[in-house]
């Protein structure tokens, strides 16, 4: 099988969409991490995989089906979770395995199926199509705009559900909104890093940022910075050494995390509080 490295012509496309995707993943991922829902992105991606397989099976371009399947199953499960008081990590496990299970069955049912069809969804691919880049930019822009206007409410419900509710914030609605945005984010990002590696973009930059940041604003800014640097250098590495793009991005993100741990552990950087006291 062939893991795609970035080719010269596709570098601008890859970089532009990569930057948009990283910004999106780091912000959406931050809320998931803070909700102790780090693997939720993974769960969404796996159920989206079920959707991709379904799309291939019925012969419709799979990405939008994947999006619908991921969001609907996540919303459904979070309703169930509320009603029966099931823990978040169990929900993640259910979503993840059911999505994958359904996907595998559908793949095995699909006639004249070629692994290549599904490979790009599993491991990501180089984004070459201009139309695709435009869609990614538009969706990322839309979600970031919505987040800009609602982040306070989402943050408050994340911080304390009880207090947020008692001050009149529609906590459930905010949580559905977050799930929906996470679903769209996952489906967009699948193209870049694939189902299997999506958690890396959601989690690594945020955990690295949280090692230093003192405030929420610092966390967001640092995380975005880490995510964008990982993606950009990953794409360039992929082109330079002709190795798989998704793997490069994830490894750079992991290297940033390890670097942050070392820097913090050795006392090189105390906290970002010194940098921006009133961020």
Partner 1 sequence: MFINNSGVDFTMIVDIQKLSVDYSGIKVLDDISFGIAEGDFLGIIGPNGAGKSTLFHCMLGLRTQYDGTIKFFGQDIRDSRKYLSQVGFVPQKPVVDRNFPATIREVLSMSQNSSDSKKVDEALQKVWMHELADRRIGDLSVGQQQRVFIAKALVNSPKILVLDEPVTGIDQYNQDLFFQILGELNTKEKISIIWASHDLDAVERLASKVACLNKTLFFHGISKEFFSDDEMLKKYSETSMQMHMHHH
Q: How far apart are CA 170 and CA 145, in angstroms?
A: 19
Q: What's the closest the beta carbon of residue 64 comes to partner 1, in angstroms? A: 34
Q: Which residue, 157 or 238, has its beta carbon nearer to partner 1?
A: 157
Taking phi over 0 as left and psi of -120 to 50 as alpha, with beta for the rest, 112 belongs to left
Q: How far apart are CA 185 and CA 28, in angstroms?
A: 8
Q: Which residue, 116 or 277, has its beta carbon nearer to partner 1?
A: 277
Q: Which residue, 97 or 145, has its beta carbon nearer to partner 1?
A: 145
Q: What's the closest the beta carbon of residue 214 comes to partner 1, in angstroms? A: 5
Q: How far apart are CA 23 and CA 124, in angstroms?
A: 17
Q: What's the closest the beta carbon of residue 129 comes to partner 1, in angstroms? A: 37
Q: Which residue, 81 or 214, has its beta carbon nearer to partner 1?
A: 214
Please choose, from the candidates 140, 44, 147, the residue with its C-alpha nearest in 3D space to the C-alpha of residue 96: 44
Binding site for partner 1 (CB under 8 A): 34, 152, 155-156, 159-160, 162-168, 209-210, 213-219, 273, 277-278
Q: Which residue, 208 or 233, has its beta carbon nearer to partner 1?
A: 208
Task: Please give the structure tokens belonging to residue 135.
Answer: 């869609």
Q: How far apart are CA 206 and CA 15, in angstroms?
A: 21
Q: What's the closest the beta carbon of residue 210 comes to partner 1, in angstroms? A: 5
Where are the alpha helices (H) located in the chain, listed in sequence order?
11-34, 40-58, 62-84, 88-109, 115-123, 130-159, 161-166, 171-193, 198-212, 216-241, 245-265
Q: Which residue, 81 or 165, has its beta carbon nearer to partner 1?
A: 165
Residue found under tokens 């590696």: 197
Q: Which residue, 116 or 278, has its beta carbon nearer to partner 1?
A: 278
Distances (CA, A) of 194 to 4, 64, 131: 12, 15, 19
Q: What's the closest the beta carbon of residue 167 comes to partner 1, in angstroms? A: 5
Task: Please give the structure tokens belonging to residue 41.
Answer: 């992105």
Q: What's the closest the beta carbon of residue 37 comes to partner 1, in angstroms? A: 13
Q: What's the closest the beta carbon of residue 35 comes to partner 1, in angstroms? A: 10
């Amino acid at each position: 099988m062939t893991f795609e490295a970035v080719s010269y012509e596709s570098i601008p496309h890859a970089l532009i969409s990569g930057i948009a995707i990283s910004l999106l993943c780091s912000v959406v991922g931050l809320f998931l991490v803070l909700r102790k829902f780090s693997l939720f992105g993974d769960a969404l991606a796996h159920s989206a995989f079920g959707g991709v397989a379904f799309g291939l099976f019925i012969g419709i371009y799979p990405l939008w089906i994947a999006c619908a399947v991921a969001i609907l199953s996540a919303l459904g499960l979070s309703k169930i979770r509320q009603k029966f008081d099931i823990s978040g990590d169990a929900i993640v496990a259910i979503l993840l395995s059911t999505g994958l299970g359904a996907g595998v069955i559908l793949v095995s049912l699909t006639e004249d199926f070629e692994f290549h069809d599904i490979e790009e969804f599993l491991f990501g691919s180089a984004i070459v199509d201009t139309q695709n880049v435009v869609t990614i930019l538009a969706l990322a822009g839309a979600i970031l705009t919505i987040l800009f206007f609602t982040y306070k409410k989402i943050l408050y419900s994340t911080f304390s559900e009880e207090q947020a509710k008692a001050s009149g914030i529609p906590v459930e609605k905010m949580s559905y909104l977050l799930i929906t945005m996470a679903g769209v984010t996952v489906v967009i990002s699948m193209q870049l890093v694939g189902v299997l590696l999506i958690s890396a973009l959601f989690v690594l930059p945020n955990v690295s940022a949280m090692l230093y940041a003192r405030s929420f604003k610092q966390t967001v800014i640092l995380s975005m910075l880490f995510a964008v640097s990982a993606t950009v250098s990953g794409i360039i590495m992929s082109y330079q050494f002709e190795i798989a793009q998704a793997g490069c991005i994830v490894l750079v993100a992991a290297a940033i995390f390890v670097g942050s741990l070392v820097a913090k552990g050795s006392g090189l950087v105390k906290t970002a509080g010194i940098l921006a006291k009133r961020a």
